[in-house]
Structure formats: structure tokens, C-alpha cells
Amino acid sequence: MCDGNGFPISAIISGANINEVRKLRELIDKAIIQKPNYLEIPSNLCLDKGYESQDSTMLALEYDFIPHIRSKHELGKEMSPGKKARRWVVERTNSWQNRYRRLLVRWEKKEANYLGFFYLSCAIIILANLIPG
């Protein structure tokens, strides 16, 4: 899970045989930055077609997110000039993560070791984007 700038804010590890829709609640709960309750600013949750279900929509509303889930039956729309697709931000962050060969293929046997390297790469990504250069 990442914010609108592509900064990683939440991650979980699961098997490849587990559907990611089942892990959505855990992913939202593990976010390192929680929205303060006193702010009335709406938060958006952009998901791909794999999350199209009543459960995903209800979960997003339960956590006070405005769900943006692309329908399986929705055709590709042309983007308005000056707007960028919201879901691509996560794909870009995944691409930044894949630059670290240690994360691309999981060699660690212990989950804690892999998660530690993942968090280190997240810190490097955030630092690299905060420092102009």
C-alpha cells in the first residue's frame, strides 16, 4: 500500500496462493500512518479489478475510505489531459522495489529477515524521493 506520491506505507507478506482480497483488512490495519479521526479530509483507496467485490467496498467504507475500484465490465477510458491514473502509482512503487535484487527473489527463509530488507528498501525509496537531486 502506498500514498499518492508512491511512498510505501504498508506491507504484508503472504503466500502466492492466497488471494490478496483476503488480506486487504490486514494491509489497511498495518499502515504506518493512520488518518487522524478529527480530519474531515476524504481519503481515497484505489484498487484494481481484482478487488471488485461487495466485501472490498464495504471494508473501504468501514475504514472511511472512498473506494475507487475499477469494474470488470468497465471499458478503458481515455484520461483527461493533466490527470494521471491513480493505480499506476502502486505499480511504479513495485518497480522501485524490484530494483533491489534481494527482494525480487526471496532468498531468506525467515519472514522477519525478508521484511527487514523490505522496510530498508522502503526507507531508501522515501529518502531518495525526499532529497532533490
**18-33, pLDDT tens digit by residue?**
888 888 999 889 888 7
Give the model's pLDDT for residue 64: 85
- What pTM did the predictor assign? 0.72
Please determine, for residue 42, whether its predicted confidence score (pLDDT) is greater than 80. Answer: no
Give the model's pLDDT for residue 131: 85
At residue 113 the predicted structure's pLDDT band, cuts being 50, 70 and 90, is very high
Q: Do 56 and 21 meet the contact criterion of CB atoms below 8 Å apart? A: yes
pLDDT, tens digit, for every residue of 45-100? 888 787 888 898 899 889 888 888 776 665 555 556 666 555 678 888 888 888 88
Delimit the domains of the chain by residue range. 20-130
Write the DSSP string, the chain: -B-TTS-B-------TTS-GGGGHHHHHHT-SSPPPTT----EEEEE-GGG-SHHHHHHHHHTTEEEEE--TTPPPPPPPTT---STHHHHHHHHHHHTSHHHHTT--SSHHHHHHHHHHHHHHHHHHHHS--
Give the model's pLDDT for residue 85: 57
